[in-house]
Chain A
Amino acid sequence: MTFSSKTYFETQLDQLVKEHYLPEYYYFQVRQSKAFMERYLSEKIELEKIAATAFMSRFHFIRIFKKVYGLSPRQYLKDLRINTGKELLKQGLDISQVCIDVGYDSIPTFSNAFKRATGYSPREYQKLNKSNLE
């Protein structure tokens, strides 16, 4: 398939990349930190360690990560944990197991964070999805 001419939108994208985007290596470095968070989600991950995977200082890393993804690395990790938790709950895993798998120390802490993010407790969320699938 060939794409002969660029649309107005695509030329705008080209201009955006040329004038406003960060150098390519920043995206590559920050992606590495994101992959690290995804891989070690169930463990306690210190921010310094995440920043190190992007070869940046903590301060610089937070600034660049936010610029690239629009949220702080801490918030990204939290969202990642909750979203992974949602998937595991849908698969029918036990709540205590999900809590461990997504890196929370205790069920109450996980439940509170989950409820704040989704509006449902893990148990309610699991029940809701189970009834929808049946």
Chain B
Amino acid sequence: MIKIHVTSVPVDNQDKALKFYTDKLGFIKKTEVPMGEHKWLTVVSPNEQNGVELLLEPMGFEPARVYQKALKDAGIPYTSFMVVDLKKEYERLIGVGVKFIMEPREMGPVKMAILDDTCGNNIQLIQML
């Protein structure tokens, strides 16, 4: 059976990204393997520590920066994470200084909001209704 093991977000600074994704968003660091000037750095959800790993991928490829910036400027989320209670999570994140570019709104079967991960990406939070 095939399954998703690792997915990634490109980040402009891995150390800064690790702090944001763990201290603010609440992920847990799973692997940190030095690889030259960068590292293989992944985080997981506290509830799914054997689940899909999120690779905080260094931006080592110039065209990727162009792509990332174009998405950022258009307000398009690079990826999406699921939460149980978006209102509660939104308030918690606002409380710890996270900046949102779209406040929670309902769209059919979901409620969504978009935050700035400070590492070059818009990240969408989704609650299934």
Please report A residues at the B interface, Cβ cutoff 8 Å. 1, 3, 6-10, 13, 16-17, 21-22, 27, 30-31, 68-69, 87, 119, 128-129, 132
Contact = CB atoms under 8 A, between A and B. Distances in A.
B49 A8 contact: no
Contacts, number: 51
Contact of B75 (A7, A21, A22): A7
Interface of B: 1, 3, 47, 49-50, 74-77, 94, 100-103, 105, 107-109, 114, 122, 128-129
Contacts of B100: 1, 3
Contact of A119 (B3, B75, B129): B3
B74 A9 contact: yes
A10 B3 contact: no
Contacts of A10: 75, 102
Contact of A3 (B47, B103, B128): B103
A17 B102 contact: no
A132 B109 contact: no
A63 to B, nearest CB: 15
Given A9-B74, A10-B75, A10-B102, A1 B94 contact: yes
A23 to B, nearest CB: 10
A9 B75 contact: yes
Contacts of A13: 105, 107
16 contacts: A1-B94, A1-B100, A3-B102, A7-B75, A8-B74, A8-B75, A9-B74, A9-B76, A10-B102, A68-B109, A69-B109, A69-B128, A87-B47, A119-B3, A128-B50, A132-B49
